[in-house]
Amino acid sequence: MSEQDRRLRRPRIAATVAAAALFAAVGTVLALTTPWNPLPGPVPGGRTPTDPSADYSAAEIARSAAFDAAINPPAYAGLAAGLVLILVLGLTPRGARLIRFATARVPRRWLRVLVATVAVTTLLWVVGLPFDVWGETVLRDYGLSTQGWSAWFVDELKSLGLTWAVYGVVLLLLYAVVRRFPRYWWTGAAFGGFSLVVAASFAYPVVVEPVFNEFHSLPQGRLRTDLLAMAERDGVPVEDVLVADASRRTTSLNAYVSGFGSTRRIVLYDTLLESPPERVESIVGHELGHADSRDVLWGTLVGALAVAGAVCLLYPLMTSPRLLRRAGVVPRGGNGAGGNGAGENGDQAREGGGAADPRSVALVLAAVAVAMQVGAPVQNLVSRRIEARADVHALDLTRDPGTFVSMQHELSVRNISDLSPNPVERFLWMTHPAGPERIAMARDWARLHGTRVPPPLSGG
CATH number of the structural domain spanning residue 224: 3.30.2010.10
H or E stretch covering 268: strand 265-269
**CB 98 within 8 Å of CB 340:** no
Question: So what's the pLDDT on residue 340?
Answer: 46
Cβ contacts of 405 within 8 Å, gap of 6 or more: 55, 439, 442, 443, 454, 457
Q: What is the DSSP letter of 420?
A: S
Residue 237 counted as domain residue: yes
3-state SS, one letter per residue, for 92-153: CHHHHHHHHHHCCCCCCHHHHHHHHHHHHHHHHHHHHHHHHHHHHHHHHHCCCECCCHHHHH
pTM of this structure? 0.91
Residue 205 counted as domain residue: no
User: Which has the closest alpha carbon to 362: 65, 93, 49, 20?
Assistant: 93
Distance CA 436, CA 51 (A): 6
Residue 415 counted as domain residue: no
H or E stretch covering 243: strand 241-244
Strand arrangement of the beta sheet that strand 241-244 belongs to: 215-217, 241-244, 265-269, 255-258
33-41 contacts at long range (C-beta below 8 A, 24 or more positions apart): 33/298, 34/382, 34/385, 34/386, 35/385, 35/386, 35/388, 35/389, 36/385, 38/385, 38/388, 38/389, 38/391, 38/392, 38/441, 39/388, 39/392, 39/441, 39/444, 39/445, 39/448, 41/448
* Inter-CA distances, 99 with 49, 173, 342, 364, Å: 55, 19, 17, 13
Residue 270 counted as domain residue: yes
Question: So what's the pLDDT on residue 338?
Answer: 42
* Total structural domains within the chain: 1
Distance CA 280, CA 4 (A): 63
**CB 115 within 8 Å of CB 106:** yes
How big is the chain, counted in residues?
460
Q: What is the DSSP letter of 51?
A: -
Distance CA 13, CA 18 (A): 9
* Inter-CA distances, 139 with 74, 143, 229, Å: 11, 6, 37
Q: What is the pLDDT along the chain (460 residues), one digit of tens a residue?
A: 566 667 778 899 999 999 999 999 999 999 999 999 999 889 998 999 999 999 999 999 999 999 999 999 999 999 999 999 999 999 999 999 999 999 999 989 999 999 999 999 999 999 999 999 999 999 999 999 999 999 999 999 999 999 999 999 999 999 999 999 988 999 999 999 999 999 999 888 889 999 999 999 999 999 989 988 998 898 888 778 899 999 999 999 988 887 777 777 889 999 999 899 999 999 999 999 999 999 999 999 999 999 999 999 999 999 999 999 999 998 876 554 444 444 455 454 455 568 899 999 999 999 999 999 999 999 999 999 999 999 999 999 999 999 999 999 999 999 999 999 999 999 999 999 999 999 999 999 999 999 999 999 974 4
Residue 227 counted as domain residue: yes
Residue 303 counted as domain residue: no
Residue 262 counted as domain residue: yes
Burial label, 79 (beta-carbon count in 10 A; 0-12, 13-18, 19+): middle
**CB 445 within 8 Å of CB 395:** yes
Residue 233 counted as domain residue: yes
Question: Could you list the residue range(s) of the whole structural domain that residue 221 is in?
Answer: 215-288
Beta bridge partners of residue 242, listed in sequence order? 217, 267
Distance CA 195, CA 455 (A): 49
Question: So what's the pLDDT on residue 331?
Answer: 81
Question: So what's the pLDDT on residue 337?
Answer: 42
Q: pLDDT digit string (tens) for 372-431? A: 999 999 999 999 999 999 999 999 999 999 999 999 999 999 999 999 999 999 999 999
